[in-house]
Amino acid sequence: MNRPLIHWTFRVMFIFILLSFYSPRAMAQEADIAIKPPLGWNTWYGYLCKVTDSDVRAQADMMVANGMKAVGYEYVNIDDCWQGQRDSEGVIHSNSNFPDMKALGDYIHSKGLKFGVYSSPGPKTCAGYEGSYGHEDQDAKTYAGWGVDFLKYDWCSAADVYKPSEMETAYKKMGDALRQSGRPILYSLCEYGLQRVWLWGPSVGANMWRTTGDLDYKYDRFSLVGFEQNGLERFAGPGHWNDPDMLLVGLGKITDDESRTQVSLWSLLAAPLIASADLRKVSAASLAILSNPEVIAVDQDPAGIQGRRISEEGPLDIWMKPLADGSKAVGLFNRGEDAEPITVYFKDVGVGESAAVRDLWAAKDLGTFKDSFTATVPRNGVVMLRMK
Ligand code: GLA
pLDDT value at residue 32: 82
Pocket lining: 154 vs ligand 1, CB cutoff 6 Å: yes
Classify residue 116 by its DSSP letter: E
pLDDT in tens, 336-370: 999 999 999 999 999 999 999 999 999 999 999 99
Alpha-carbon gap, residue 97 to 55, rounded angstroms: 10
pTM for this model (two decimals): 0.92
Query: Minimal CA–CA distance to 161: which of 151, 173, 177, 179?
Result: 173
**How many of the other CB atoms lie within 10 Å of CB of 162?**
18
Residue 136 has pLDDT above 50, yes or no: yes
pLDDT of 23 reads: 40
Please tell me whether residues 260 and 338 are part of one structural domain.
Answer: no
Is the CB of 248 within 6 Å of ligand 1? no
**Ligand 1 and 215: CB distance under 6 A:** no
**Together in a domain, 77 and 164:** yes
Ligand 1 atom 3: residue of nearest CA:
214
Note the pLDDT tens digit of each residue in 196-207: 999 999 999 999
Q: Which of 255, 281, 299 is the last residue of a domain?
A: 299
Domain boundary among 299, 334, 352: 299
In terms of domains, do 64 and 120 share one? yes
User: How does pLDDT run across 69-121, given as a tens digit for each residue?
Assistant: 999 999 999 999 999 999 999 999 999 999 999 999 999 999 999 999 999 99
Domain range spanning residue 47?
Answer: 34-299
Are 382 and 268 in the same domain? no
Say how many domains are in the chain.
Answer: 2
Q: Which atom of ligand 1 is nearest to the CA of 214?
A: 8
**Closest C-alpha to 200, from 240, 152, 243:** 240
> So what's the pLDDT on residue 26?
41
Query: CB of 127 closer than 6 A to ligand 1?
Result: yes
pLDDT averaged over every residue in the chain = 94
Instruction: Note the helical H segments in the chain.
Output: 3-21, 23-32, 44-47, 53-65, 101-110, 136-146, 158-161, 167-179, 197-200, 219-227, 256-268, 284-290, 293-299, 346-349
Whether 317 is a known active-site residue: answer no
- Ligand 1 atom at shortest distance from the alpha carbon of 190: 8
CA distances from 92 to 19, 124, 136, 152, 283 (A): 37, 13, 11, 16, 38
Task: Count other Cβ atoms within 10 Å, centred on residue 161.
Answer: 14
Kindly list the strands in the beta sheet with 150-154, ordered across the sheet, starting from the edge strand earlier in the chain.
241-243, 208-210, 186-190, 150-154, 114-119, 75-77, 39-42, 273-275
Catalytic site residue 154?
yes
If asked whether residues 260 and 320 sit together in one domain, one would say no
What's the CA gap between 383 and 388, in Å, rounded? 16
Q: Which of 299, 322, 357 is the last residue of a domain?
A: 299
Chain mean position to CA 24 = 25
